[in-house]
Amino acid sequence: MRKKVGIIFGGKSGEYAVSLKSAYNVIKAIDKNKYELTLIGINTSGQWKLYNGDIENIINDTWQNDESCVNMNLSLFNDPVIDDIDIFFPVLHGTFGEDGTIQGLFEMLNKPYVGCAVTASAVCMDKIISKHICKSVGIPITDYCEFDEESYKKDTVDIINKCCNMGFPLFVKPANLGSSVGITKACDNTSLLKAIDEALKYDNRIIIEKAVDGAEIEVAVLGNEDAKASVCGMIKPCKEFYDYEAKYLSGNKSETIIPAPIDDEISEKIRKLAVKAFKAHNCSGLSRVDFFLEKNTNRIILNELNTLPGFTDISMYAMLWAQSGISYVDLIDDLIALGFDRYDKRSRLSFKKL
């Protein structure tokens, strides 16, 4: 019998549109001979709806308008449709999608799901906590400054001075968000103040990082305890840095080079660091690990981990595995199998008596 996969798309986050693109690609590519799909859309107001219409309406964001194919009478904890789902595949990015919240819901439903579990999802989403983890295990990171909105209001001058002492340019980021939403490059005091105001629109905790002059290198990691790393890929953004527009709105003008044109020795070091970071954050299933390779010094610096990387037709995660010998269809199979594997192992442990 075909496994019943519940694909969840959309979401109440600033990355709603990216999720629609990713979900469309997953739905289109997944092997329908192996899997029976249940599509669940979450709109920007947080409403959950069953959808059984044309998937073209998902990528066009008109799926909610197809009233004959939308069912709003969905009870997560008492619904036969939900009960029948064998495994959830959350194709969600950003807040409420990859920050551990929906993963906690799956745990409460006692259902297997694709991707990292609650803790790993939460700590990887939080750029500040992730930095602390990297420091604790000796993974190289760039200089940074962290603060919350209340501290910023009380000690604005001191915080600005501390940030400026790192030296410009600086990247100002909301602590919890993805797809480069809310991120600004600041090159002086004036632009720094504006960048902080922009980041505070998305989160009340901010991280400011010293810019790294170097190549952007990305590695895909796949697995549970036996995680493995793909070949390295390099990003050449069409803009000054790889922001939301460069990723999704530029008409694919940003250049991706796979494998990255770097020495084999450096590539191997980056791949090993990717797996080390994956395990240090207690990741499972998948993550894309992003690095900088500093110009002139070849110093490797970890940027961040993404526990639910994009699955659009221009997303690096699937392209990296394709170049490493795993097709898009097989990658989906592997991710589903890994979700079942983690669930089975945790289920056996949960029934052990102390």
Q: Which domains occur in the chain, in start order?
A: 3-113 (3.40.50.20), 143-210 (3.30.1490.20), 213-344 (3.30.470.20)
Per-residue pLDDT, 77: 86
In DSSP terms, 173 is beta-bridged to 207
Residue 7, helix vs strand vs coil: strand
* For residue 59, pLDDT beyond 70: yes
Mean pLDDT value of segment 82-92 = 96
Per-residue pLDDT, 238: 65
Better pLDDT: 12 or 102: 102
Per-residue pLDDT, 92: 94
| Lowest pLDDT segment from 3-17, 58-72, 175-189, 273-287 | 175-189
Per-residue pLDDT, 94: 85
Mean pLDDT value of segment 221-242 = 87
Mean pLDDT value of segment 172-182 = 78
| Length of the chain (residues) | 354
Short-list 27, 121, 98, CA closest to 311 = 27
* For residue 244, pLDDT beyond 60: no
Per-residue pLDDT, 337: 98
Mean pLDDT value of segment 1-17 = 93
Confidence category of residue 242, pLDDT binned at 50, 70, 90: very low
* For residue 15, pLDDT beyond 70: yes
Using CA atoms, how far apart are residues 62 and 65, in angstroms rounded to an integer? 5
Short-list 106, 125, 130, 71, CA closest to 347 = 106
Sheet of 228-236, strands arranged across: 255-257, 228-236, 214-223, 285-294, 300-306
* For residue 252, pLDDT beyond 80: no
Mean pLDDT value of segment 264-280 = 98
Sheet of 48-51, strands arranged across: 70-71, 48-51, 35-42, 3-10, 87-90
Using CA atoms, how far apart are residues 250 and 265, in angstroms rounded to an integer? 33
